[in-house]
Amino acid sequence: MTAMVTRACDIVLLGPPGAGKGTQAKRLAAAFELLHVSTGDLLRDEIARRTELGSEAKAFMVKGELVPDELVGKMLMGLLHSQAASGGCVYDGYPRTTAQAALLDGVLAELARRIDAVLFIGVPDEVIISRMDGRRSCSECGAVFHLTGNPPRQDGVCDACGGALGQREDDRAEVVVERLRVYRHYTQPLLDLYRHRGNLTEVDGLGGVDEVFGRLRAALESCRR
């Protein structure tokens, strides 16, 4: 009898704000039985729970700036070493700086793992702006919709839990401009880093949610356990 080989699989999703990372990360995590690790969601949860870390992070997030690497790293360390993450993760919004990329490499090396794939979701600026402008998130469970691209069944009401849908504070036009600037300055250079390592796949983020998911899934077939 042949023993079934299972191994952890770690996937980084990169892309500009509003590209669809969160939407696709949830689906990939479900399809490949991985933990969805969204630093944006974790930080918003810290803010909602009024923790000290949340209040420090909020001051940066409302302006569209990055939360300092040390704060984000502190928040993530326990999670990455936890049993929940032992089968591998889809990282959504992490890493965002070269220092964060080095930290993730280090943690995975300690766990005898490595980044298996980096997927970049490419979307032109005009589509990014319209995706963030039309985004509505559930105040209760965090589910994400779009007014035209991925509308809820009932206006203003979450399909998943019936909670109220609202706009994210950092989706205001002036904050979006800053988030795009920050992305280009700090996060875009990671594309070269991963391209140089040979594990970057660029995926067209245009088209419907299912269509984009199909492209990502195809790019990841080699990670299936």
- Sites of contact with ligand AP5 (CB under 6 A): 15, 17-23, 39-40, 43, 60-61, 64-67, 72, 93-94, 96, 100, 131, 134-135, 144-146, 149-150, 170, 179, 208-209, 212
Residue type, 47: I
Residue nearest to ligand AP5 (CB): 40
User: What string of DSSP letters covers 146-182?
Assistant: ETTTB--SBTTB-TTT-PBEE--GGGSHHHHHHHHHH
Residue 179 appears among annotated catalytic residues: yes
96 catalytic per annotation = yes
Q: What is the distance between the alpha carbons of residues 54 and 48, in angstroms, rounded to a whole number?
A: 8
Preceding peptide of 152 cis, ω within 30°? no
135 belongs to the catalytic site? yes
Q: For this structure, is 44 an active site residue? A: no
d(CA 80, CA 100) in angstroms, rounded, equals 13
Nearest CB to ligand AP5, comparing residues 11 and 43: 43
Catalytic residue among 26, 44, 131, 135: 135
Query: What is the distance, to the nearest Å, from the Cα of residue 27 to the centroid of all Cα atoms in its chain?
Result: 12
Minimum distance, C-beta of residue 173 to ligand AP5, in the bound complex (Å): 14
The answer to whether residue 113 is catalytic is: no
From the list 44, 113, 131, 179, the catalytic residue is: 179
Q: Which residues are catalytic?
A: 21, 96, 135, 168, 179
